[in-house]
Structure 1
């Protein structure tokens, strides 16, 4: 299906307050700036149905489009996904994490499981790196807890939404909604899988269910022997759009990876030339640290009149009708 002609995002003044570009560089139907009139109507329909359930937060157009794309523009399925996400956010305490969570043990945890954002790829996306082969949960749980690891993961997802992606969008001059993810499988063996499976599954579920449409490209590097064969079977169960984003590479990954990530933005250990002072893993370098592109994230701004943000209510609790 050909993408519709590029057009401005249809904004809703009640919810849309963007200070960054809102046209996606991806000329595909359903992406901002490339929507059809039918898709624009489904945004309004989804938002209206969520308003009827009492939701007031995260109803902006870009968010509505991400949830709709994740469910092939099935409004009912998208509504269910959003409701489930909001229920999880309330139970997990997500809205308060970005401004309050302090992962003071990060440097020690990263000795066993580095997970970090670092600069951008050639398309302007944030680069996210994980080194799965170094995971040692037994050692990590002497330093931290599984709950705090997930809290850190969620905090970083919140910071991805704001300030990272908005800063990248301003610098690129077009909307950045996704990441370029590098997962280093060096050292991952069959024996290490069971011990990390539970955490990785939880992390994957959070990503897919509550932060949809954030994957731009995924490079699985240093894939062990036989991994490609297994993945070729798994591909049959994945959406073709997702499959096209995934690149499984062995130890000779540098050429393909450097075709996507500039050498000056890629850490030396992966074949790039970047060597941040204190280590790339802890630097958090990127446009979100540059005053020219960075802005104070909305979650860090003082609330009007000192009032807290009104969180979405749990639609499972019926509200009494207002008296006449």
Structure 2
């Protein structure tokens, strides 16, 4: 895999552990050329952020290496990052429109939001599975949007928090896990606990899942490693039977619906000492696992500052190329591109 010195500033392993075509370190000549083509097309429109090889490969894999479709997905994602949408409208908190790149370093600095939300909707990263991936846990049956609203937590806060957590999984969590594992890790192991989900709260639970799934699918491609759906009941099973045929077979293969007899499956993938006791493991973090944030990303041996934590001379700023004139240039400079401006350099055709 060829790296680009302008954009590829990795300080962790960059080769995937399994030699699957299209995955880092296992590219064909044609796939390598498609990375260059996609980057050139995006540069020609003025984009300068997130043009590193690993990111572009995730978008290419998500669109079966169709460069034009990958470009559209990337551009749509960049637009969304500048103005997160909710119900088709710009998401606002306290009257301000959310720009994700600016929000990451400012969001919940004192941890007060997480402590409040954990009472009504525990959702947290906790240590790693046997493959070294971060484990993410959500307890959906405890969702109480009404109670959260009484504490000043609106739906907009929940979606912003979700986006920020996706960003923090990408950096610093996955890089720290990759350093510890000695190879590249790009995905998570997720546990979705449906204990307590019934007729009374099914609507708000599935409504939130729909929003979260849309965010993951559209803007964070190739991040799902394994997903375990536990304590599912007949209500969910009926929904799953309808939804499953609509999903990509590759995605379906990663999802395991386990019902109430899940402990053996979870322990086959997650070490007992890393799995919270309430799910069949032996971990009992001081202060509770949901608030511990335990994992390699908190270990000084493997943790390094994330890109959004770097300031001044430590931050890497990529500048637009001379040919950058499209929407990406407008996003970078905060100005509007000239009307009718188009890319001036054609992308090479890939046979």
Scaled by the length of structure 1, what TM-score is found?
Answer: 0.91
Give the secondary-structure state (helix, strand or coil) at the position aligned to 2:31: helix
Aligned to 2:157: 148
Q: Is the 8 A contact 2:329 2:337 kept in 1?
A: no
Aligned counterparts, 1:4-43, within 5 A: 9-43=1-35
**1:150-170 alpha-carbon deviations (Å, 9 max, x no partner):** 121111111111110000000
**1:192-229 alpha-carbon deviations (Å, 9 max, x no partner):** 22233433322221111111110000000011135445
Aligned to 2:349: none
Range 243-252 or range 25-34, more displaced: 25-34
Superposition deviation, residue 314 in structure 1:
4.3
Scaled by the length of structure 2, what TM-score is found?
Answer: 0.84
Unaligned runs of 5+ in 1: 1-8
For 1:309 and 1:275, locate their aligned partners in 2 and report how far apart those are by CA, in whole Å. Answer: 44
Q: Which has the higher contact order (CA 8 A, sep 6+)?
A: 2
Match of 1:95 among 94, 98, 101: 101
For 1:278 and 1:294, locate their aligned partners in 2 and report how far apart those are by CA, in whole Å. Answer: 22
Superposition deviation, residue 175 in structure 1:
0.4
Aligned to 1:282: 291
For 2:45 and 2:64, locate their aligned partners in 1 and report how far apart those are by CA, in whole Å. Answer: 22
**1:63-84 alpha-carbon deviations (Å, 9 max, x no partner):** 0000011111111111001111
In the alignment, structure 1 residue 256 sits paired with structure 2 residue 258? no
Q: Is the 8 A contact 1:303 1:309 kept in 2?
A: no
Aligned counterparts, 1:1-324, within 5 A: 9-91=1-83, 92-102=98-108, 104-143=112-151, 144-225=153-234, 227-228=236-237, 230-304=239-313, 312-314=328-330, 317-319=336-338
Flag the 1:100–1:35 CA change in 2: closer, same or farther, 3 A: same
For 2:141 and 2:188, locate their aligned partners in 1 and report how far apart those are by CA, in whole Å. Answer: 21
Unaligned runs of 5+ in 2: 84-97, 321-327, 342-351
Flag the 1:226–1:205 CA change in 2: closer, same or farther, 3 A: closer
Q: CA RMSD in A?
A: 2.1
- What is the aligned length? 313
Give the secondary-structure state (helix, strand or coil) at the position aligned to 2:116: helix
Superposition deviation, residue 231 in structure 1:
2.4
Give the secondary-structure state (helix, strand or coil) at the position aligned to 1:69: helix
